[in-house]
Structure 1
Amino acid sequence: MSQDDSFHTDVSTRNNPELHQYEVRVGERLAGFLQYRQTPGRIDFMHTEVSSDFEGQGLGGVLAHFALDDVVAAGLRVVPHCPFVAAYLKKHHANDQFIDWP
């Protein structure tokens, strides 16, 4: 097993509403986060960051996918101010009907 494969065996995602961010963890380590601002009826995705230790492993996409599914399941609209999330949405069209482009 390569080092990259081992990172993907213990990946978890969660919403951390106290910090207004979605998080992706590898084991106990915070590997990345997606900051948001919630307003009535919508979530504005503001900034995504993946730690340099975990770049290039697809964790940003895992995080974006999880956050989008969570927001849509809650019946909210998505506003992608974050360039990473905007680029992700332009490649993945499953949630197009829930997006309000800024």
Structure 2
Amino acid sequence: MQFTVTDAPSRDRFEARDETGALAGVVTYQLTGGVIAYTHTEIDPEFEGKGVGSTLARAVMDDARARGRTVVPICPFLAGWLGKHPEYEDIVAQSRKIK
């Protein structure tokens, strides 16, 4: 099954749709200047287990990289996905302890 991911800025989210146009899942965000915080990922139960979450995660991260944005992964799903994809570390905001 193929999914197309598009930005819906009027809704502050990215949307994944299947070949028929059915909404399969979304990633919501808050954009402030060059920083984008991904706040929530939601997959329609009908599409769970079909790779929608991973498709969305890769698409939103590739979009952030292409636009030169820094990512703040508030969403637990996206944070976990990023833990398995270190190729995006360079655009993810990192906390540092002050000594």
Structures share a fold, TM > 0.5? yes
How far the C-alpha of 1:90 sits from its partner, in A, is 0.1
- 2-structure distance, mates of 1:82, 1:33: 12
2:73 aligns with 80
**Paired amino acid for 1:17:** P
Secondary structure at 1:95 match in 2: helix
Give the secondary structure class of the aligned counterpart of 2:46. helix
The one-character-per-residue Cα deviations of 1:39-59 (angstroms, maximum 9, x if unpaired) are 111100000000000001111
Hey, what does 2:15 align to over in structure 1?
23
Once the two structures are TM-superposed, the CA of residue 96 in structure 1 deviates from its matched residue by: 0.4
What is aligned with 2:64?
71
Work out whether 1:50 is the aligned partner of 2:58. Answer: no
Give identity over the alignment, percent.
36
Q: Deviations over 1:52-102 (max 9, x none)?
A: 000011110000100110011100000000000000000011110110146
State the alpha-carbon separation in 1 of the partners of residues 55 and 5 from structure 2. 8
The 1:93–1:32 alpha-carbon spacing in structure 2 relative to 1, beyond 3 Å, is: same
Q: Secondary structure at the match of 1:18?
A: helix
Q: Please say if 1:100 is aligned against 2:97.
A: no
Structure 1 unmatched runs, 5+: 1-7
Query: Over aligned residues, Cα RMSD in angstroms?
Result: 1.0
Aligned residues: 94
CA deviation vs aligned residue, 1:8-62 (integer Å, no higher than 9, x gap): 14x2110110100011001210000000000111100000000000001111000
- What is the CA–CA distance in structure 1 between the aligned matches of 2:4 and 2:65, rounded to whole Å? 19
Instruction: Return 5+ residue gaps in structure 2 as ranges.
Output: none
Please give the TM-score of this superposition, normalised by the length of structure 2.
0.91
Partner of 1:4 in structure 2? none
1:12 maps to 2:4: yes
